[in-house]
């Protein structure tokens, strides 16, 4: 799957680092989702097993990063954008 992907976005640095280490030939297409906005790197908390508001906060954060980072996501994925 990684070989077929143009872009891989991770929510946690550990996941991104593990993918880069395990698949060095594809390391250049692995990024943190947070990097799509101002190239900042931070983890997005996994609310698994926690209260509902943790899930809501995570969804809000991911939605915001995707909306604000969409031009860069499209660029890195090889799309033309709009």
Q: Give the model confidence (pLDDT) of 12-51 as tens digits.
A: 999 999 999 999 999 999 999 999 999 999 999 999 999 9
10 secondary structure, DSSP code: E
Query: CB of 28 within 8 A of CB of 2?
Result: no
DSSP code of 23? -
Give the Cα-Cα-Cα angle 35, 70, 16 (nearest 5 degrees).
35
**Summary mean pLDDT of the chain:** 95
12 is written with which tokens?
Answer: 């946690």
Domain boundaries, the chain: 8-77
Of all residues in the chain, what percent carry a pLDDT higher than 70? Answer: 96
Q: Could you give the 3-state DSSP secondary structure of residue 46?
A: coil
Element holding 70 (H helix, E strand): helix 52-77
User: Which CATH number, 3.30.470.20, 3.40.50.2300, 3.30.750.200, 3.30.70.270, labels domain 8-77?
Assistant: 3.40.50.2300
């Amino acid at each position: 799957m990684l070989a077929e992907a143009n872009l891989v976005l991770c929510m946690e640095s550990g996941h991104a680092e593990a993918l880069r280490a395990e698949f060095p030939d594809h390391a250049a297409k692995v990024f943190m989702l947070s990097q799509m906005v101002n190239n900042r790197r931070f983890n997005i908390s996994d609310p698994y097993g926690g209260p509902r508001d943790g899930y809501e906060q995570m969804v809000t954060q991911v939605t915001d990063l995707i909306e604000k980072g969409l031009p860069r996501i499209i660029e890195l994925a090889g799309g033309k954008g709009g």
